[in-house]
């Protein structure tokens, strides 16, 4: 699978970053934020500073600003998660997922809430996998056995499996007790639960979180009777990114030690690089050097995530940056918050650029892509790397 790169500005009315972030209903099992440190001291040598890390304690807690770039909008933070738990892990059957009281509290529009229920077990290519998205849809990838008994239609997908994909709008105003389709679906799922359902129909593990639609404030999740759940926290770790003086990359300017920088020439319109249209798409053929720089930067961000960014990663290497990583159930609001944190850092001159990467859950039946990376640049610009 290839990588697509788009260039745009956060303030552009057609900026694709909002749709890209919101498209991934279950943002990530992990999110990484990379901030560079000074890589040249004026004499051509990389910095060896090991000063403390940047304060990122509020990086994921920013309340949505209501605009693409957030210029001149006061910073507000969402409150801590109720009960001290960032999300909960619960074992639920399909019938419990569509429990009427559960939907009324967390899914229906009148609740003022949006629910994230992402599956944690099962194999997407061979098991029954279901999820509830923040838009109020039940998205399921079902085996032939469960599909034939679940009371839903579904499109057969020829991806080397016999799976059927189904979508049910649980927040729709006519998905209420007494509606024929709703009653048939709930009845079928209850029978699966009671009489021989397999896999997720008999109970699967879900990571669950809930937010208030109006302002992104975390809300407590109340499960149906009999559901076993436990609270979890989003974990956070920081580390120094190091690079040996003698090592350099084969792309870009090999005379400067340290990692590659985002290729700003991607924005040039003089024909020597790429012509980027108003929607962030590329019109002309990719210049070889720019394409190499783009691939190199993306590869290095991935290497940082793996802890093998190159050169010496021990204490004797130059400190060229810092990486902060969060793991758990993170929502689109948190990725937007991380982007706004980086926008402010770059705009304030604290760093020349910053990078945010999020990874999706492999069991996610919405198939929204496993990785998206942003390089935040001066002037409110950015590069977005995603699966093609």
In this prediction, residue 164 carries a pLDDT of 85
Q: Is 249 helix (H, G, I), strand (E, B) or coil?
A: coil
Q: Which residue has the higher pLDDT, 289 or 386?
A: 386
**Those residues with Cβ within 8 angstroms of residue 237's Cβ, 6 or more apart along the chain or in another chain:** 324, 325
> Quick check: 206 and 215 in contact, CB under 8 A?
no
Q: Which among 62, 108, 103 has a CA at the least distance from the CA of 331?
A: 62
Taking all residues of the chain, what is their mean pLDDT, rounded to a whole number?
79
In this prediction, residue 272 carries a pLDDT of 41
pLDDT digits (tens, 9 = 90+) for 53-101: 999 999 999 887 654 444 445 678 888 887 889 999 999 998 999 999 9
pLDDT digits (tens, 9 = 90+) for 158-176: 555 678 888 999 999 999 9
Q: What residue spans of the chain are helical by DSSP H? A: 17-23, 94-97, 100-106, 144-149, 180-194, 288-306, 332-347
**Half-sphere exposure (Cβ direction) of 256: Cα atoms closer than 13 Å:** 17
pLDDT of 283 over the 60 cut: no
pLDDT of 128 over the 80 cut: yes
In this prediction, residue 80 carries a pLDDT of 80
């Amino acid at each position: 699978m290839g990588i697509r790169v788009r260039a745009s500005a956060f303030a552009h009315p057609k900026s694709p970053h909002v749709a890209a972030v919101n498209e991934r209903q279950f943002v990530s099992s992990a999110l990484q934020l990379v901030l560079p440190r000074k890589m040249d001291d004026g004499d051509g040598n990389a910095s060896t500073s090991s000063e403390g890390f940047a304060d990122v304690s509020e990086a994921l807690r920013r309340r949505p600003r209501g605009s693409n770039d957030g210029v001149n909008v006061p910073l507000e933070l969402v409150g801590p998660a109720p009960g001290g738990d960032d999300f909960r892990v619960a074992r639920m059957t399909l019938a419990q997922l569509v429990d009427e009281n559960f939907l009324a509290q967390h899914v229906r529009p009148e609740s003022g809430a949006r629910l994230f229920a992402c599956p944690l077990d099962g194999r997407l290519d061979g098991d029954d996998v279901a999820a509830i998205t923040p838009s109020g849809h039940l998205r399921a990838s079902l085996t032939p056995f469960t599909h034939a008994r679940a009371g839903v239609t579904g499109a057969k997908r020829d991806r080397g499996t016999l799976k059927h994909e189904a979508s049910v709008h649980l927040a729709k105003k006519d998905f209420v007790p007494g509606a024929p389709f709703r009653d048939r679906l709930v009845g079928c799922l209850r029978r699966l639960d009671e009489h021989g359902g397999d896999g997720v129909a008999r109970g699967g593990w879900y990571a669950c979180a809930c937010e208030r639609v109006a302002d992104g404030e975390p809300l407590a999740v109340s499960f149906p009777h009999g559901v076993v759940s436990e609270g979890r926290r989003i974990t956070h770790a920081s580390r120094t990114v190091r690079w040996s003086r003698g090592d350099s990359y084969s792309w870009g300017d090999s005379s400067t030690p340290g990692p590659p920088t985002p290729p700003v020439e991607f924005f040039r319109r003089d024909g020597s690089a790429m012509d980027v249209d108003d929607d962030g798409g590329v019109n002309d053929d990719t210049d070889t050097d720019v394409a190499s720089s783009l691939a190199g930067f993306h590869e290095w961000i991935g290497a940082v995530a793996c802890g093998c960014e190159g050169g010496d990663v021990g204490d004797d290497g130059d400190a060229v940056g810092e990486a902060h990583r969060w793991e758990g159930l993170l929502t689109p609001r948190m990725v937007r918050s991380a982007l706004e944190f980086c926008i402010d850092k770059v705009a304030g001159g604290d760093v020349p650029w910053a990078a945010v990467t999020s990874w999706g859950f492999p069991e996610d039946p919405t198939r929204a892509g496993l990785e998206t990376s942003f390089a935040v640049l001066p002037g409110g610009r950015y590069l977005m790397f995603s699966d093609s």
